Structure 1
Amino acid sequence: MSELTTTIAALPHALPACPNARIALFTLRRMGAHGLHDARASHALFTAFGEDFRRPLVLMRALMSDLAGTAADTIAIAPCCCARMTAAERALLTVLARVETAPDTARLLLSDLLGVRRVDAVLASMAVVATAFADDGRPICA
């Protein structure tokens, strides 16, 4: 198998066109790889949200903690500099985009991703993160 085929298999999705989804993806990747208190993730949210950065930052930290504590297996994330997304990252952004408009679809997708049936707590965390972005005029679209 060629290197390109391997890369496409591991990273099947292009980055989202939505700049708000890109901010969410960046913070997911940084916190997933470097911990909940990663300075670059905090700076990215500060840059995007200005003085109101604390709410999305704290909620994103809570979401990452809920994801890590609930998932039955590891969630594949790509390095921050990667120009493509894993299937898991795409699923997370899709859930963030649909949690308010299509909660049943979001619940099923999140359940498949995490490998557990009861995902209501994590789904609630996803909803408050999506709301924090939307309340600041930065809705996450898939």
Structure 2
Amino acid sequence: MENLSAWGNVPVTIDRRISLITLGVADLARSTAFYERLGWSRSSASQGAITFIQLKGIVLALFSRAALAEDAGVENTPVGFSGVTLAHNVSNPQEVDAVVDFAISCGATLVKKPEKVFWGGYSGYFADPDGHLWEVAHNPFAPLDEQGHLSLPER
């Protein structure tokens, strides 16, 4: 029997995948240069405030630690914020709500209620039992492929 959410035919389970890992960094240019020295190429989807790097089946993002903490609604301290969030991207805003609600029902703590966000998408945050932050997001500018993977242009 499949459990369905209040949104209709949206399943109340979470697909076993991570779409994007965002690392909060002190100096975006320095961190971007480091990863480029590793041989990882910056995607053309990168912008002045964020670097995207396409990995195999996942995207790594580098973003200001202070800005990332502000986006999640947490303090920018080593105790209150690790500098890392895990992202689970979905196909539409209703799925964001359903996944966040499901995570809460599984014991997660709501950190930031899903809402429209400054970059044009829709997202919310929850913390796992150890306090690791997960962002659940719908990004209309980066659709998921047939396998549910986030895929960005190489250059």
TM-score by length of 2: 0.36
TM-score (norm 1): 0.38
Relative CO higher for 1 or 2, CA cutoff 8 Å, sep ≥ 6?
Answer: 1
Normalized per residue, which structure has more strand? 2
Structure number with greater Rg is 2
The structure whose residues are more often helix, as a share, is: 1
